[in-house]
Structure 1
Amino acid sequence: MCQGRVRRLTPPAKRFLTLLAFISPWILGFLGFFVYPLLLSLYYSFTEYNLLQPPKWVWLQNYSSLIEDTHYLNAVGNTIYFVVFSVPLGVLTAFLIAFLLNQQLRLRVLLRMIFYIPIVVPISATAILWMWIFNSNWGLLNNILALIGIQGPAWLGSPAWSKPSLIIMQLWLVGGSVLIFLAALQDVPRSLYDAAEVDGANALHRVWHVTIPMVTPAILFSLLTGLIAAFQTFANAWIMTDGGPVRSTEFYVLYLYDHGFRFFRMGYASAMAWILFGVVVVVTVLLFRTSARWVYYGGEG
């Protein structure tokens, strides 16, 4: 009677199984805490679900209802306003600060630390600080304006000034982008500046034709991360204004949160989440597609 051969694993197969065993906790966590909720939210977006009763299939009703929801369209408009103004201003501010810190200044290290500190402060503390700064009666900003004879607006209490106020606050949090720009500026070869100076370029021409082209990868990164963060802005508006006054700061994610966790309309909120996901993907792809025209990488000819 023949005994069957015992097939032994080859060394590559053993290495693969060992690797799989080591990363299996991450795989299980990724599937359980990311993939499964993601697919579940996609399913919920086609249902009417209030957390208390089983989901009821409604197909595209949630998506079609969004088009007729005036408050939803208002949230979309508020978010577009915030994205259009906060992202370019944030990138420009971060670049200017980094350019300044890249000069031979005294206390340069201290200044870099000061500009970085705001991004490590919890957003709740930052929001409370800026609520005091923007207070229309005894706030710091209006007191400074009063010293020069200007009567400050209501800021967070005014529909006209509430979104600009949050944009100003957002500029306080550009420390991360400042460090990225600072690293990019220090990577610009000194020989390029010397060559431009020999060709007769003044300081402004050197910045425009040497500095900016060489830091375009950092500009692309800051634009991309800024766009994604701006589309998802939530905490500052939720803490400082809760969407007011008169829904002027009711941004997309804040409106989504209200429907999901205040009104328990999970299907409706899931539909909004997937639309936001699609918009962010489209904007990201378009940004990458257009970047080939204006982003220069040092290794290119």
Structure 2
Amino acid sequence: MQITGSDIHLLSVFDAVVRNGGFSAAQVELGLSQPTISNHITALEQRLGVTLCQRGRRGFLVTEKGQMVHEIAKTLLGTLDMHSGHLAALKGNLVGRLRIAVLDSVCTDPNFRLPEAIARFTEAAPAVRIELGIARPQDILNGVLDGAIHIGIGSFDNVLSGLRTTDLYREDHALYCAAAHPFFARADADIADAEITAVPWVHRGYWSRQRRKAVNPTDLDRFADEIEAQLILILSGAYIGLLPIHMAEAHVAAGRLRRLGYTAEDYTCPMQMLTRSGQVPQVNTLFMRILAECHA
């Protein structure tokens, strides 16, 4: 089938619905009523001859063919965005969208200079619409690779072919327990290393094996895919775990957390800018340069 402008519009609506997890959740982003969104999806289904999603009392669910169509839509829309940026650059105009995704719980780090970079970029390119979101490292990797995200910021263990990283700054991690944990009231000298490794830990689910504690995780250990979720589990007093020092400092000052003297698992990780390899639109290039300069 020949893809028309109407098809692209319908695919963009479908993409927003899938990303937001349903019709009602996509209303704000699209600026359309729920019945209008439903009509657009029905029109796309009729155009393609497949059922894209199931909706009703049981909730919103993308079908297998709907998932395939969504992957095609993401690739198509990402390519159009990229070439739109190139065409705008030919006229000397900086317009379009810049989609940025960041790892969670970074704002308390004084080394994190994204707000400064956004301020400088907005002054230089006020017509560009910045879309900023929080995501897990693997989702950022996949998003940058397929074009759904233009620039990612986080720490990436396994960079896929077609992507490149630029180190921005380094983030220190240390081991913490909460006020409700048995270790909290004990002196570091009285806590044996064997006790530290034996109690339940909460790990970051996306960490590579090198970043987890040296002993194998036990059935009592838990995994969290967000730093905020990991912090909550540690604050429960049921687990200990590694946290960014900048994030934990306020809780230490409030008496809710204590940094343990066991340093065998402390580490410093690079915080990186993730982009696609090769030529990118001028809008992306400008922001990448400003972000690197702010962290120099």
Query: What interval of TM-score do these two structures reach, taking the shorter chain for normalisation?
Result: under 0.3
Larger Rg: 1
State the TM-score, normalizing by the size of structure 2. 0.21
Query: Greater relative contact order: 1 or 2 (C-alpha under 8 angstroms, separation 6 or more)?
Result: 1
State the TM-score, normalizing by the size of structure 1. 0.20
Greater strand percent: which structure?
2
Greater helix percent: which structure?
1
